[in-house]
Amino acid sequence: MSQLRPTPYSFNRAQRDQVFKVMTLQLDQASTTQLREWETTLAQEYQQFKASGLNLDLTRGKPSAEQLDLSDAMNLILGDDLSNESNTDLRNYGGLDGIPECKRLFAKVLGVANDEILIGGNSSLTLMYFAVLFAQNQGFGALGASWASEGKTTKFLAPVPGYDRHFSVCEHLGIELIPVALNDDGPDMDAVEQLVKADPSIKGIWCVPRFSNPTGTVYSDQVVDRLAQLGKLAGSNFRVFWDNAYAVHSLSDDAPELANIMDRCRAHGTEDSIYIFGSTSKITYAGAGVSFAGMSKGNLKAFSQHLGMSQIGPDKINQLRHVRFLKDSEGLAAHMRAHAAVLKPRFDIVLKHLREGLADTGMASWNEPQGGYFVSFDTLPGLAKEVVQLAADAGVKLTPAGATFPYGKDPDNKNIRIAPSVPSLEEIDRAMAVFVNCVKLASVRQRLS
Amino acid sequence: MSQLRPTPYSFNRAQRDQVFKVMTLQLDQASTTQLREWETTLAQEYQQFKASGLNLDLTRGKPSAEQLDLSDAMNLILGDDLSNESNTDLRNYGGLDGIPECKRLFAKVLGVANDEILIGGNSSLTLMYFAVLFAQNQGFGALGASWASEGKTTKFLAPVPGYDRHFSVCEHLGIELIPVALNDDGPDMDAVEQLVKADPSIKGIWCVPRFSNPTGTVYSDQVVDRLAQLGKLAGSNFRVFWDNAYAVHSLSDDAPELANIMDRCRAHGTEDSIYIFGSTSKITYAGAGVSFAGMSKGNLKAFSQHLGMSQIGPDKINQLRHVRFLKDSEGLAAHMRAHAAVLKPRFDIVLKHLREGLADTGMASWNEPQGGYFVSFDTLPGLAKEVVQLAADAGVKLTPAGATFPYGKDPDNKNIRIAPSVPSLEEIDRAMAVFVNCVKLASVRQRLS
């Protein structure tokens, strides 16, 4: 935290100490008089924040310029040498499944064999969109007919809170989302198993299994194994959509590992029940990376056949750029440590504010992620929208409350996603001071009302 | 043609001269005796070709390595400087519609305004696929409901011969194709107008308006104007799919120009009835170019909204690379002249063989394109498959007969697409000698049978 310059708050330290001191008290043990006093002090502090004309943004789940700089060597790395393993002209059309050296590198990231992967363009979201689209409308080739052919509304399970773009893919394609709880070890598997057994029109489940967006959850080995068995419980053509977006995105070397789901599927004979996705969007350039999809050979055959109707091949030159730059698993690991060095201090400052300002107050809970891009924060039930609004009015932009739930509806109105990767340390420090104040103010007011 | 080395035919010149001389006679004026003599000579020649162990390929509608070399400077052009007009970090997510400098450059190519274009990834086929998909399933936002919502099978008109990948997009999305004749000045507009007036479930027409694949047709001003008026005749939500793939791909400076369809649409108040597409696949790198779609602001709004469900943005770094490399319209024109210098001798040698071997024989007709990538060749009715098979057996690979028609069915079994861009001049020379022989042999045999 030594990089951090003192923050130029417009109120004095004595005022702050007073606020922090009183707030270590538990909300539910405070008398009405105490609550009124707190409200006055917090409202005063809030007005000072508001008057200071802040313009801060904690919404953006994307790499900072400092992180993107780490990959700038990519732009010059090819030189005149476009030689490659397949000894083909990468500049030309073709090669729908990507170049072999890229497959080998990212198959390890996804935990699949070198012939169980396809390397795409700059967006894994596009691969996921196509995967859902083809499954819904065209089917799985020799593996099975389309979901639509069953004549019922297709349904997906959505562990919540989750990633809004997964939800919007389903909404766009007319697929109904059924929320299930995301516990500390992954989706509530009792609920998941019960649901898929009861309703064969449930055809998929969205998973971000390591450093889940936004909760930072790493699925336990047991949960991974139970997910690998879903293909046996579920109706025909069920697929687990395994978006391993943060597969190598830990903040430290001792972050928990994720079990290899393809291995578990092989053990259970359910290899065809899983689609695995990933990309370098948060490894190299968010807008100019490469994406990949891992799946059984049967799935890959059907998926490629459909994908080939919409394109002749991906940008293989950019794939070569990536292999030259990242080299191998060791090169990738070293590169990700450089990312962690940029990201971790940002997470530390978010957590410092939450711990110092809100621990043991009974006002909030949050995760302390060991990787990924987010801190997931829960207010008391019913307060997320108010906190987001209070913060916005004081110049601190937060992801809209509800965004982490299907149809934007958080039934408890409590979850807020904090994204600290883009702002500077100082900006995060200022924004989090405001955020903590807003949470306290909203909580005290709710208690008083 | 001075680059051309003598071809090492295994038969002697006297034999060749004899063949060529006799073949200048018209097929339908030959006696049975003459036909039998020709058959013997041609079959002899064919056997000699077959024995010479050729392995030649005239199927590939893609740039040659020599053409791709023209753009190699792109790989190093960015250096450390990623500065751009929008002054945003192009390395990061976002910018679904592309970067402004790229829009300006390619809006001129498509003939639309700078706010009527979206710059995509490496494949215009993907943009076309999405355009058909969204129109079919999601609709046009404020401009209209989806085709599917009308409850009937959607139909498209397919000028034939045409581009197989257009047809397969429709087939994949469950859209029925109705062939219409492609005349020398474009689609048979009398037929087109009659069809769309009679059947409101006809929702689109595929057009490659300049140097059409495979016939090299440039649509006349009158045809362009009539196509621009289709939006008034056709059922609701009709769209012309204007794939201007060869917009700047002329073989000489005096090739015919194409009228600006967006201007014509504006004149008729039908701006919303057209989707225009293009790419740099045959300008820079076929696999690593940029694609673009031009459309009215209303269409663009709806299309972008749907596209944004499947991706966060295109590879903007590659877009910057393209603008830096091509610079402006003048830079683009100069670059395309360098392409023409590589391509034209290849077309010249194809045409030389056809003229010398088949002119005035009554056995064939073909186009003499002034741009694009193909020569479209018609045998006598019923012979295309046989010619393709004969050539294949003699080591010359041709695009499968029928590929230029919906569902692979050429009703006259006569059209063959010749793609001379990839082979060397010598290879084309050898392949075309075989091809001409196969056409003659099949024609004479048909006449004899």
How close does chain B come to A62, measured CA to CA in Å?
Answer: 7
Q: Which of B82, B127, B312 to mutate: most A Cβ within 10 Å?
A: B312
Residue A234: the pLDDT is: 95
Residue A229: domain span? 92-326
Contact status, residue B277 vs residue B243, Cβ threshold 8 Å: yes
Cβ–Cβ below 8 Å for A78 and B79: no
CB < 8 Å to B285, chain A: 91-92, 317
A312 in contact with B at a CB cutoff of 8 Å?
Answer: yes
In angstroms, the Cα distances linking B314 to A409, B122, B341 are: 30, 9, 32
- Pick the closest to residue A236 from A189, A194, A202 (CA basis): A202
Is residue A71 included in any domain, yes or no? no
Say if residue A257 is in the same domain as residue A377: no
- Residues 6 or more apart in contact with residue A112 via CB below 8 angstroms: A262, A276, A294, A295
Inspect the interface and report whether the beta carbons of A129 and B309 lie closer than 8 Å.
Answer: yes
For residues B361 and B383, state if they share a domain: yes
The pair of structure tokens assigned to B59 is 């199927």
- Phi, psi values for residue B245, rounded to 5°: -65, -25
CB A353 within 8 A of CB A346: no
- Residue ranges of B 47-76 with Cβ closer than 8 A to chain A: 62-63, 65, 68, 71-72, 75-76
Mean pLDDT of residues grouped by 10 in chain A (449 residues)?
35 48 70 94 97 96 96 93 94 97 98 98 98 98 97 97 97 98 98 98 98 97 98 93 98 96 98 98 98 98 98 98 98 98 98 95 95 97 98 98 96 97 97 98 96
Please name the residue of chain B whose CA is at the shortest distance from the CA of residue A136: B173
The number of beta carbons lying within 10 Å of the beta carbon of residue A184 is: 9
Instruction: Pick A316's closest partner by Cβ from B76, B288, B317.
Output: B288
A341 shares its domain with A280: no
Residue with tokens 């390619």: B106
Per-residue b or e along B245-258, where b marks 16 or more CB atoms closer than 10 Å to that residue's CB = bbbbbbbeeebeeb
CATH of the domain at B343: 3.90.1150.10
Burial class (CB in 10 A: 0-12, 13-18, 19+), B366: buried
**Number of domains, chain A:** 2
The H or E element that residue B415 is part of is: strand B415-418
With an 8 Å Cβ cutoff, are B72 and A92 in contact?
no
**pLDDT surpasses 80 at B86:** yes
A32 and A173 in a single domain? The answer is no
Provide the pLDDT for residue A138: 97
Query: What pLDDT score was predicted for residue B24?
Result: 56
Tell me, yes or no, if A35 comes closer than 8 A to chain B by beta carbon.
no
Q: Average pLDDT of chain B? A: 94
Query: Does B419 lie in the same domain as B388?
Result: yes
Tens of pLDDT, residue by residue over B117-127, are 999 999 999 99
In a domain, B74, yes or no: no
The H or E element that residue B193 is part of is helix B189-198
Is the same domain home to A145 and A54? no
Task: Indicate whether B7 pLDDT > 90.
Answer: no
Amino acid at B303: F
CA-wise closest residue to B272 among B248, B299, B252: B299
**Nearest C-alpha of chain B: how many angstroms from A76?**
6
Same domain, A338 and A322: no
Q: Does B129 touch chain A (CB under 8 A)?
A: yes
* Residues A438, A429: Cα–Cα separation, whole Å: 14
Element (H, E) at B322: helix B316-326
pLDDT in tens, B226-253: 999 999 999 889 999 999 999 999 999 9
Q: Nearest by CB to B63, which of A92, A130, A316?
A: A92
Is the CB of residue B128 less than 8 Å from the CB of residue B304? no
Task: Yes or no: say if A202 and A194 are a contact pair by the CB < 8 Å rule.
Answer: no
CB neighbours (10 Å) of residue B345?
18
Question: What tens digit of pLDDT does each residue of A368-396 get?
Answer: 999 999 999 999 999 999 999 999 999 99
pLDDT for B419-440, tens place per residue? 999 999 999 999 999 999 999 9
Higher pLDDT, A9 or B172: B172
Chain B residues in contact with A94 by the CB 8 A cut-off are: 287
Do B386 and B246 belong to one domain?
no
| pLDDT tens-digit readout, B343-365 | 999 999 999 999 999 999 999 99
Examine residue B212 and state whether it is found in any structural domain, yes or no.
yes
> Which tokens sit at A352?
């410092």
Distance CA A190, CA B272 (A): 51
Q: Is the minimum CB–CB distance between B317 and chain A shorter than 8 Å?
A: yes
Neighboring chain A residues of B82 at a CB cutoff of 8 Å: 75
Specify if B172 maps to a domain: yes
| Length, in residues, of chain B | 449
Which residues are A182's β-sheet partners? A187
Q: How far apart are CA B165 and CA A131, in angstroms?
A: 20
Same domain as A176, residue A36? no
**Rounded to 5°, angle at Cα A272 from A266 and A277:** 95
Give residue B81's identity as a one-letter amino acid code. D
Residue B402 inside a domain? The answer is: yes
Helix (H, G, I), strand (E, B) or coil at B387: helix
Strands B239-243 and B274-279: parallel
Which residues is A241 bridged to in the sheet?
A206, A275
Contact (CB<8Å) A313/B287: yes
- Residue B6 clears pLDDT 60, i.e. is over it: no
From the DSSP assignment, how many helices (H) and strands (E) are in chain B? 15, 13
Q: How far is B253 from chain A (nearest CA, A)?
A: 26
Residue where a domain terminates, one of B283, B299, B326:
B326
Q: pLDDT category, B26, cuts 50, 70, 90? A: confident
In a domain, A365, yes or no: yes
Among the candidates B299, B326, B353, a domain finishes at B326
**Do A184 and A321 sit in the same domain of this protein?**
yes
- Coil, strand or helix at B338: helix
Q: What is the distance between the alpha carbons of residues B355 and A202, in angstroms, rounded to a whole number?
A: 63
Which amino acid type is present at position B201?
S
d(CA A357, CA A243): 34
Q: How high is the pLDDT of residue A3?
A: 36
Q: What angle do CA A286, A291, A292 make, to 5 degrees?
A: 155
Label each residue of chain A as H, E or C.
Answer: CCCCCCCCCCCCHHHHHHHHHHHCCCHHHCCHHHHHHHHHHHHHHHHHHHHCCCCEECCCCCCCHHHHHCCHHHHHCCCCCCCCCCCCCCCCCCCCCCCHHHHHHHHHHHCCCCCCEEECCCCHHHHHHHHHHHHHHCCCHHHCCCCHHHCCCCEEEEEECCCHHHHHHHHHCCCEEEEEEEECCEECHHHHHHHHHHCCCEEEEEECCCCCCCCCCCCCHHHHHHHHCHHHHCCCCCEEEEECCCCCCECCCCCCCCCCHHHHHHHHCCHHHEEEEEECCCCCCCCCCCEEEEECHHHHHHHHHHHCCCCCCCCHHHHHHHHHHHCCHHHHHHHHHHHHHHHHHHHHHHHHHHHHHHCCCCCEEECCCCECCCEEEEECCCCHHHHHHHHHHCCEECCCCCCCCHHHCCCCCCEEEECCCCCCHHHHHHHHHHHHHHHHHHHHHHHHC
Least CB-CB distance to A68: which of B91, B95, B315? B91
Beta carbon pairs, A and B, within 8 Å:
148
B4 pLDDT tier (thresholds 50, 70, 90): very low
Nearest neighbour of B121 by CB, restricted to A90, A121, A306: A121
State whether A368 and A226 are in the same domain.
Answer: no
Domain boundary among B308, B326, B344: B326
Chain A within 8 Å of B318 (Cβ-Cβ)?
Answer: yes
Residue B235 has what pLDDT?
Answer: 80
Which are the contacts of A295, defined by CB distance < 8 A and separation ≥ 6?
A: A112, A116, A117, A118, A274, A275, A276, A303
What is the DSSP-derived secondary structure letter of residue B15?
Answer: H
* Residue A66 CA neighbour count, 13 Å, CB half: 14
Find, in chain A, the residue whose alpha carbon is nearest to that of B282.
A92
Whether B11 has a pLDDT exceeding 70, the answer reads no
pLDDT for the residue numbered B25:
63
- In a shared domain, residues A356 and A386: yes
Q: What is the largest CA-CA distance in chain B?
A: 78
Question: What are the E-state strand segments in B150-273?
Answer: 155-160, 176-183, 186-187, 202-207, 239-243
Q: Average pLDDT in the B189-198 region?
A: 98
The torsion angle over the Cα atoms of residues A130, A132, A137 and A141, rounded to 10 degrees, is 80
Return d(Cα B164, Cα B388) in angstroms, integer: 17
Enumerate residues 348 to 387 of chain A having a beta carbon within 8 A of any beta carbon in chain B. none
pLDDT of residue A202: 98
Contact call for B172 and A95, based on CB within 8 A = no
The answer to whether the CB of A130 falls within 8 A of the CB of A298 is no
Question: What pLDDT, on the 0 to 100 scale, is given for residue A207?
Answer: 98
Q: Which of B97, B80, B85, B90 is nearest to A286 (CA)?
A: B90
Q: Which residue has the higher pLDDT, A359 or B7?
A: A359
Q: What is the secondary structure of B237-266 as a DSSP string?
A: T-EEEEE-TTTT-BSSTTSPP---HHHHHH
Closest in A76, A287, A310 to B129, CB measured? A310
In a domain, B78, yes or no: no
pLDDT tops 90 at residue B267: yes
DSSP state, B179? E
Give the separation between CA A368 and CA A48, rounded to whole angstroms: 29
Q: A9 CB near a chain B CB, below 8 Å?
A: no
Name the A residues in 90-109 with CB < 8 Å from any B CB.
Answer: 90-95
pLDDT of B312: 96
- Assign residue A271 the CATH number of its domain: 3.40.640.10
Q: What confidence score (pLDDT) does residue B2 get?
A: 35
DSSP state of B5: P
Report the candidate in B421, B349, B332, B431 with the shortest Cα–Cα distance to residue B67: B421
* C-beta atoms of A93 and B126 within 8 A: no
Strand A291-295 and strand A274-279: pairing? antiparallel
Taking residue B392's Cβ as centre, other Cβ atoms within 10 Å add up to 13
Residue B446, SS3?
helix
Q: How far apart are the first and last CA of chain B?
A: 39
**Domain assignment of residue A116, yes or no:** yes
